[in-house]
């Protein structure tokens, strides 16, 4: 990938958008893990916990980029990214982060942040690795961009997504596009796809339309169901 080329900037834009829509959840986990610490330790715990989480995520992303060179794993990664894109855009359930318990000591908070981010950051790692097209420079840029987003931008990102839901749809669309690119560039099936270019186009249309369009319809149906649910009055009658 050439520096400052159209491909370079499009990949960078995709990585930034993926970071925006996927990093907010990780930032919430970090805040939850550190919320019971004394105020003077919260900032330090968030900083060093995020530093450790980013270091681990860097190793994970580089490992994933290397794995994607193995025949068959580009296809598997693309299919997994389809599920991640759908999970991002599908109607949210009522499950929060109740399993993330606040830590009572500085080192316990750091450990909780690193472990939770490693588990929850798999979607971010795979999305960035897929959008980077095998470029370790793009991986590094994506990780550097994600640091300030996670540390400082979680509340801003969440407010923007609540006010402008189209951001979530754009992010899901980028993930769907990335998954289609990963699937169609899988060496095991690329020779078959080259023989019929219409199949490649159909895959892009199916994934983009299915994720974005299907997600929009699912959210609209979910909203209508919630609006028509009867309001329960608390209390008991004897």
Is 158 or 205 the better-scoring residue by pLDDT? 205
Number of structural domains (the chain) is 1
Two tokens, residue 147:
């640091």
- Indicate whether 114 belongs to any domain: yes
Q: Report the C-alpha dihedral over residues 145, 147, 149, 150, rounded to 10 degrees.
A: 150
Query: Containing domain of residue 81, as a range?
Result: 6-227
Say whether pLDDT at 206 is over 60. yes
Residue range 91-138, pLDDT digits in tens: 655 445 555 555 678 888 788 777 777 766 777 778 877 887 777 777
CB atoms under 10 Å from CB of 161, counted, come to 16
Lowest mean pLDDT among 18-22, 186-190, 193-197: 193-197
Burial of 29 (0-12, 13-18, 19+ CB in 10 A): buried
Cα distance between residue 115 and residue 112, in whole Å: 5
- Indicate whether 211 belongs to any domain: yes
Q: What's the mean per-residue pLDDT of the chain?
A: 75
Q: Distance of CA 173 to CAs 44, 46, 76, 136, Å?
A: 36, 31, 19, 23
> At CA 208, angle to CA 206 and CA 213, rounded to 5?
95
> At CA 69, angle to CA 63 and CA 72, rounded to 5?
110
- Indicate whether 47 belongs to any domain: yes
Average pLDDT value for residue range 163-181: 84
Residue range 57-89, pLDDT digits in tens: 778 877 887 877 788 888 888 888 888 888 877
- Indicate whether 238 belongs to any domain: no
- Indicate whether 1 belongs to any domain: no
Cα distance between residue 222 and residue 235, in whole Å: 27
pLDDT score for 100: 55
pLDDT score for 237: 39
- Indicate whether 66 belongs to any domain: yes
Q: Which residue has the tokens 């992010």?
A: 171
Sign of the dihedral defined by the CA atoms of residues 15, 157, 21, 58, in that order = positive
């Amino acid at each position: 990938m050439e520096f400052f080329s159209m491909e370079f900037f499009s990949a960078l834009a995709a990585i930034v958008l993926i970071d925006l829509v996927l990093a907010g959840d990780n930032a919430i986990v970090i805040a939850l893990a550190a919320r019971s610490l004394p105020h003077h330790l919260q900032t330090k715990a968030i900083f060093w916990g995020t530093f450790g989480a980013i270091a681990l995520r860097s190793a994970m992303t580089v490992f994933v980029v290397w794995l994607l060179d193995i025949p068959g794993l580009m296809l598997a990664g693309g299919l997994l990214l389809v599920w991640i894109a759908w999970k991002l855009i599908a109607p949210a359930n009522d499950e929060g982060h109740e399993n993330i318990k606040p830590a009572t000591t500085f080192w316990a908070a750091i450990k909780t942040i690193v472990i939770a981010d490693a588990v929850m950051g798999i979607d971010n790692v795979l999305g960035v690795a897929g959008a980077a097209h095998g470029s370790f420079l793009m991986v590094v840029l994506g990780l550097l961009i994600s640091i300030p987003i996670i540390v400082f931008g979680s509340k801003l990102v969440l407010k923007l997504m609540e006010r402008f839901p189209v951001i979530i749809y754009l992010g899901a669309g980028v993930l769907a596009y990335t998954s289609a690119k990963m699937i169609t560039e899988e060496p095991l099936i690329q020779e078959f796809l080259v023989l019929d270019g219409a199949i490649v186009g159909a895959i892009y249309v199916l994934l983009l339309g299915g994720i974005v369009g299907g997600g929009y319809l699912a959210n609209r149906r979910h909203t209508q169901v919630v609006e028509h649910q009867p309001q329960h009055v608390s209390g008991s009658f004897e």
